Amino acid sequence: MANLPKLRPWLCLLATMAAVSAPWPPADALGMNWGTQATHLLPPKIVAQLLRDNGIKKVKLFDADQETLSALAGTGIEVMVAIPNVMLDTMTDYDTAKEWVRRNVSRYNFDGGVTIKYVAVGNEPFLAAYNGTFDKVTFPALQNIQNALNEAGLGDTIKATVPLNADVYMSPKDNPVPSAGRWRADITDLMTQMVQFLSNNSAPFTVNIYPFISLFLNDDFPVNFAFFDGDATPLVDPGNGVSYTNVFDANFDTLVAALKSVGHGDMPIVVGEVGWPTDGDKHATSAYAQRFYNGLLKRLAANAGTPARPNQYIEMYLFGLLDEDIKSVAPGNFERHWGILRYDGQPKYPMDLSGQGQNTMLVPARGVEYLPRTWCVVNTNAGSDAMEKLADNINYACTFADCTALGYGSTCGGMDSNGNASYAFNAFFQVQNQKDEACGFQGLAVPTQTDPSTTTCNFTIQIATTSAAHRRPLGVAVFVLAQLVLLLLLLLLH
């Protein structure tokens, strides 16, 4: 102890170095959406470890898959399980709802089990594009699930909620400001009843907010208004004098006004989805995604809130964790590129989940097994007769594989016809687990061990079947059925 004064400077230096090198934990409010609409899924155990490695303590699912929940058991990660829209009708029967809660919630409620916090009843069921398909079944399903949770003795800690698209509320055309927010006219009564029920059960309102979509849908939308770095020209709400510098705050506060209009202006709000894609559109880039998340995460870490709810904690789930190569592209090609990580769990760009602005990469997935380093590319020695069939074969390949990166403004959009063909052929080849017959295309394709990727366009090697999908995710039945006729079509192409 006599030398302690001499050691103090060194101890202080070591402590400082440790503080600098130790990573900050993610913001407490931060969660992640874990989607599974992919041809080759990472095993749930690898994904669960990936979440833990990155300090992510909340995850939102789109089903209640047993293997996924088993992988999350004992991790302490808070989970939002989900009932898909196609099951809402069956949940209008109370006994069915009770059985669903028993099988998918109660069974995991034990020490070392799954920390289920929410049950998502549907996913954006009131989306205007659905034309009322789920309007009559969602609220009864919500009531039955929450009542079943209550009856099971779980209702105090597990809440049922309905993740809704931001199109359920809006401001009038003659007064398009956040403070004038109201429910969409066709569902006003329904929303009023549902909000009251949520309030009675101390459950949150869950909303999905996508600034990217505002930019995607309107070429005249001010780009800077989609981000959080203060470069946008402020828009003033004359109803309360508040200045808005980003569309997220304006959207969120429109919801606050809508809740206030029915007497629930203080209801907790969970942002179920928010994110930025990295491909499939001119605005879907890694640079924009990094800019968006840098601003969002800094605000989240500081509990900045919004003008209507300043300095408040807002629980928020990023969308999404991984790219999904068979998501529907009806809204746009970007739908398959929302992941902050690639399909294989590898980081796309620097991202600091702590919101401290550090130039750090996420921890990648560990233990991922890949198919051999073999690609399928266009056969430049094919005869002219075969080349006349090139377009048809590209279309065929892209029918069964993801070619969204080839679109205008996308990462692979600038290649010539041979490059497009090679990308399409390889995408198909990988989806088919590199089967020999999947790299034929009437003599137009050949396998190669030379990586055809360019500086901007990545030709993937898929995850090996030994570590790929443990199941086919809900919503990809078309893909599964397509495989049933695939061999016949391959024979025709040969």
Cα(122)–Cα(442) distance, rounded to whole angstroms?
Answer: 44
For residues 24 and 19, give the distance between their C-alpha atoms in angstroms, rounded to a whole number.
Answer: 9
Cβ neighbours for 52, distance < 8 A, ≥ 6 positions apart? 75, 77
pLDDT tens, residue order, the chain (494 aa): 444 444 444 444 434 433 333 457 787 899 999 999 999 999 999 999 999 999 999 999 999 999 999 999 999 999 999 999 999 999 999 999 999 999 999 999 999 999 999 999 999 999 999 999 999 999 999 999 999 999 999 999 999 999 999 999 999 999 999 999 999 999 999 999 999 999 999 999 999 999 999 999 999 999 999 999 988 999 999 999 999 999 999 999 999 999 999 999 999 999 999 999 999 999 999 999 999 999 999 999 999 999 999 999 999 999 999 999 999 999 999 999 999 999 999 999 999 999 999 999 999 999 999 999 999 999 999 888 878 899 999 999 999 999 999 999 999 998 999 999 999 999 999 999 999 999 999 999 999 999 999 999 999 999 996 544 444 444 444 444 444 444 444 444 44
Catalytic residue among 78, 273, 324, 335: 273
pLDDT of residue 387: 84
Contacts for 234 with CB less than 8 Å, ≥ 6 apart: 243, 244, 245
The dihedral through the CA atoms of 218, 220, 224, 230 has a sign that is negative
Length of the chain equals: 494
The amino acid at residue 228 is F
Residue 57 and residue 84 in contact, taking contact as beta carbons nearer than 8 Å: no
Q: What local confidence, expressed as pLDDT, does residue 320 receive?
A: 96
**Phi/psi at 6 (nearest 5 deg)?**
-70, -30
What pLDDT, on a 0 to 100 scale, did the predictor assign at position 25?
Answer: 77
What's the rounded Cα separation, in Å, for the pair 119 and 198?
12
Does the annotation count 124 as an active-site position?
Answer: yes
Q: Is 388 a catalytic residue?
A: no
Q: Which of 78, 124, 315, 335 is catalytic?
A: 124
CA–CA gap between residue 52 and residue 456 (Å, rounded): 31
CA distance 81 to 72: 11
Distance CA 246, CA 225 (A): 4
Task: Name the pTM for this structure.
Answer: 0.90
User: For tokens 């499939």, what's the residue?
Assistant: 280
User: How far is CA 10 from each of CA 15, 217, 264, rounded to the nearest angstrom?
Assistant: 9, 58, 56
Structural domains of the chain, with CATH: 26-361 (3.20.20.80), 375-448 (no CATH)
pLDDT for res 385: 82
